[in-house]
Each structure stands twice: as structure tokens, then as C-alpha cells.
């Protein structure tokens, strides 16, 4: 029992978002406690493919693109600062493919608006695609290269970030589920834990898909979106490849990661062999060399998805309580900018205009 625990900031949730926020807040001189229900980065962060891109299927220009672009630009410095030098950072760009008329229209339109926004993007013929990635011999109508996009392996990144957070002096409480955000009047005063609270005048709620249940007295509509993936041992493409049904990302250790489903089934953590077969089959249709590759790992994660699909970052109706969640399919990509904005707000009361449409109060 440690009733006396205090911090300047208590961060709830040790996924990539909570870890990045804790690290940035500590870097700016605050005493930080990070409260994690289990072990850090074993939920959605563990499951992620690791695409670091400023756009995605069906997206258009807008605040999310601006935020992603800023985070992508910050990534190399972020990796250096946290000492994450072995994360398979691949900055050779990302490919996307379209295999039917609807997807060709989407990809063509995406390349067009990205180009107008001065974001590097170029359409490729199937032959140009194969010249870049000879393993992509499956049928493709058209493709695109996004040279500014990158990919990495989120697992070593999260491990490096956890190490950086600990070395910087953040108190990391593992196996410590937060039972409540403690509020006095309309002010956050700490976080309730089974063995006594952590008292803190500022709380950052970064518990991913589990945030809704911890929001004290206001609506935080974030739910899980289940994603199942698998890894095969094979010779994969050098660059990550995106397609409407999923993604193919080669890892430095010789595995190729294939994903992912998007399922609205609550917190059902069951891994379904049929879903994994579909994920594998979709990827093998594009890269036939993956067809007979042995599946060496299957896993799933719960993406935190808000009611409108956009991140939820910023101050709440409870004074001193800041939320950082709802990153959905983009939490790895958005971690650096989320941490920067949360720390700007907590340390200096600064609220970047980019965040204006993304605050939690939009749901009230």
C-alpha cells in the first residue's frame, strides 16, 4: 500500500500513445507516473503493422492528413531522441495497389489531391510496380508510390520507448489497472488503483480502446475495432504495400507481416482461422510467393476507434484531465505529434489549431 504516491502528471495506459506522452512530459521536466494495467505495449501497439503514412484508403485532405504529415516529419528525430535505432525504419516509401475500377478511381483521386497538397505521390503502371518490387506479380490494375511514407516494426519501437521512459525517470507502474480517474469538484486529482491512488493535478487518459469506461462523467465514444494479422516466413517486398483489404510489411528478421481484418465485435479476442486464411489469401493474390509460406505467428489487437473515426486529443470538461485516444488505424504514425501536443497543452496551456476539430468536447 503506497497512499503517498504523487506525480505532476499521471498517464493512464502504456501503449505507444501513453509511452510517448510520458516520455515527452518527462523530457519537459515533469514528474510522471505511467499506469499500465498489464505490461506496456502489449495491446493494439503490439498488433500494429507499422505503416507510417500521411494518408490511407478513402481519405481526403483535412485535419487528420495535416496531423499525420506533421507526425511523419517528426518521426526521424523522435526515433533518435528515444534511442530507437533498431526498429526497421524503412524510408523508401510505400506502395499502394488497386485491383478493380472502384479502387483505381480511389487511388487516382488520392494521388491527385496529395500532389495538389505537395505531398509526394505518383501513379505506376503494373510494369513499373514490378520493376520496383519484382515479387508483386499478381493481377493489378494500377499502383502508386508514396515516396515520403515509411514503415517500422512497432514492437522494438515500443520496447525502446519503454526503456527511454524508464531511463528518463518516469515511474512505470505495471500490472496496475486504473480503477477510476479521481475528481474533486470538477478537477482531476489523481488515478485510483487497487493498492491506493496516485495523486496528480494532471491526468492523461491514454488507455486506447478502454478509455470510454474511465471517462469520469462525460461521454467519450471510443470502442474497439478488432484487427487480426499473421506473419509468414518468406521473401517479401522491400517496401510496405497497401491495398484496400490490407497490408504487407517485411520485417528485418525475415518475417512478412500480413493484415488485417477490421471487425466491430467488441472485445472478442478470439483468433479465427478463416479470417487469417483470408488475410493470407489476399496478400498471396498480390505476391504469389507468399502462397505456400508457413504462417509463423497469428495475433490480434483492438484499435481505439472513436464515433467519427478521428483521434480524440485534448482537454476534457474535467479540469486537468487530458485525453489522447481514438487513433484507430494510425496510432503508431501519430504517436510523436500526439505526445508533442499533449505536452504543449499540459506544460504551457498551448492548444495547437490543428487539434481544434479533434478535441473530446466535439461529442458533447
Ligand X SMILES: Cc1cc2nc3c(=O)[nH]c(=O)nc-3n(C[C@H](O)[C@H](O)[C@H](O)COP(=O)(O)OP(=O)(O)OC[C@H]3O[C@@H](n4cnc5c(N)ncnc54)[C@H](O)[C@@H]3O)c2cc1C
Told to check if 51 binds ligand X by CB under 6 A, we report: yes
Peptide bond connecting 132 to the previous residue in cis, omega within 30 degrees of 0: no
Told to check if 155 binds ligand X by CB under 6 A, we report: no
Phi and psi at residue 242, to the nearest 5°: -105, 140
Q: What residues are paired with 226 via a beta bridge?
A: 263, 302
Smallest gap from residue 115 Cβ to ligand X (A): 23
H/E stretch holding 187 reads: strand 187-193
Compute the C-alpha angle 325/355/75, nearest 5°: 70
Smallest gap from residue 301 Cβ to ligand X (A): 3
Smallest gap from residue 123 Cβ to ligand X (A): 23
Told to check if 227 binds ligand X by CB under 6 A, we report: yes
Smallest gap from residue 52 Cβ to ligand X (A): 6
Told to check if 36 binds ligand X by CB under 6 A, we report: yes
Told to check if 35 binds ligand X by CB under 6 A, we report: yes
Told to check if 305 binds ligand X by CB under 6 A, we report: no
Residue of 301, 314, 315, 360 interacting with ligand X (CB under 6 A): 301
Q: What residues are paired with 144 via a beta bridge?
A: 96, 123
Cβ–Cβ < 8 Å for 44, 209: yes
Contact stretch for ligand X (CB under 6 A) within 40-48, 89-97, 120-128, 290-298: 40-48
Smallest gap from residue 342 Cβ to ligand X (A): 12
Residue whose grid cell is 465514444: 221
Told to check if 210 binds ligand X by CB under 6 A, we report: yes
Q: Rounded to whole angstroms, what are the CA distances from 270 to 221, 274, 277, 297, 329?
A: 23, 12, 15, 14, 20
Contact stretch for ligand X (CB under 6 A) within 47-55, 82-90, 287-295, 347-355: 47-55
Residue whose grid cell is 470510454: 212
In angstroms, the first-to-last Cα distance of the chain is 37
Cell numbers at residue 31, please? 514528474
CB atoms within 10 A of CB 27: 17
Give whichever of 70 and 130 is closer to ligand X, judged by the CB atom. 70
Instruction: Give me the residues that bind ligand X (CB under 6 A), please.
Output: 12-18, 35-38, 42-45, 47-51, 177-178, 206-210, 214, 227, 229, 259-260, 301, 303-304, 325, 327-333
Amino acid at each position: 500500500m503506497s497512499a503517498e504516491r504523487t506525480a505532476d502528471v499521471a498517464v493512464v495506459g502504456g501503449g505507444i500513445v501513453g509511452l510517448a506522452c510520458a516520455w515527452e512530459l518527462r523530457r519537459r521536466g515533469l514528474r510522471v507516473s505511467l499506469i499500465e494495467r498489464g505490461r506496456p505495449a502489449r495491446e493494439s501497439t503490439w498488433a500494429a503493422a507499422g505503416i507510417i503514412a500521411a494518408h490511407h484508403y478513402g481519405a481526403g485532405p483535412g485535419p487528420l492528413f495535416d496531423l499525420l504529415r506533421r507526425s511523419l516529419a517528426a518521426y526521424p528525430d523522435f526515433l533518435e531522441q528515444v534511442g530507437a535505432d533498431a526498429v526497421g525504419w524503412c524510408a523508401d516509401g510505400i506502395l499502394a495497389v488497386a485491383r478493380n475500377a472502384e479502387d483505381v478511381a480511389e487511388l487516382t483521386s488520392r494521388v491527385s489531391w496529395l500532389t495538389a497538397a505537395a505531398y509526394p505521390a505518383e501513379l505506376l503502371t503494373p510494369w513499373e510496380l514490378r520493376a520496383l518490387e519484382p515479387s508483386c506479380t499478381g493481377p493489378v490494375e494500377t499502383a502508386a508510390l508514396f515516396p515520403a511514407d515509411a514503415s517500422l516494426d512497432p514492437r522494438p519501437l515500443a520496447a525502446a520507448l519503454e526503456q527511454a521512459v524508464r531511463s528518463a525517470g518516469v515511474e512505470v507502474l505495471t500490472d496496475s489497472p486504473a480503477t477510476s480517474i479521481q475528481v474533486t469538484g470538477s478537477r482531476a486529482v489523481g488515478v485510483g488503483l487497487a493498492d491506493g491512488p496516485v495523486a496528480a493535478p494532471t491526468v492523461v487518459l491514454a488507455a486506447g480502446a478502454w478509455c470510454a469506461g474511465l471517462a469520469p462523467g462525460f461521454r467519450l465514444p471510443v470502442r474497439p475495432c478488432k484487427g487480426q494479422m499473421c506473419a509468414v516466413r518468406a521473401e517479401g517486398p522491400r517496401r510496405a504495400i497497401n491495398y484496400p483489404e490490407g497490408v504487407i510489411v517485411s520485417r528485418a528478421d525475415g518475417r512478412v507481416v500480413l493484415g488485417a481484418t477490421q471487425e466491430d465485435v467488441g472485445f472478442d479476442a478470439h483468433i479465427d482461422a478463416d479470417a487469417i486464411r483470408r488475410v493470407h489469401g489476399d496478400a498471396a493474390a498480390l505476391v504469389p510467393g507468399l502462397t505456400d509460406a508457413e504462417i509463423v505467428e497469428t495475433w490480434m489487437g483492438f484499435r481505439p476507434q472513436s464515433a467519427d473515426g478521428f483521434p480524440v486529443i485534448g482537454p476534457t470538461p474535467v479540469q486537468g484531465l487530458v485525453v489522447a485516444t481514438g487513433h484507430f488505424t494510425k496510432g503508431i504514425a501519430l504517436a510523436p505529434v500526439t505526445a508533442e501536443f499533449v505536452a504543449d497543452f499540459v506544460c504551457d496551456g498551448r492548444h495547437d489549431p490543428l487539434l481544434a476539430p479533434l478535441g473530446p468536447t466535439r461529442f458533447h
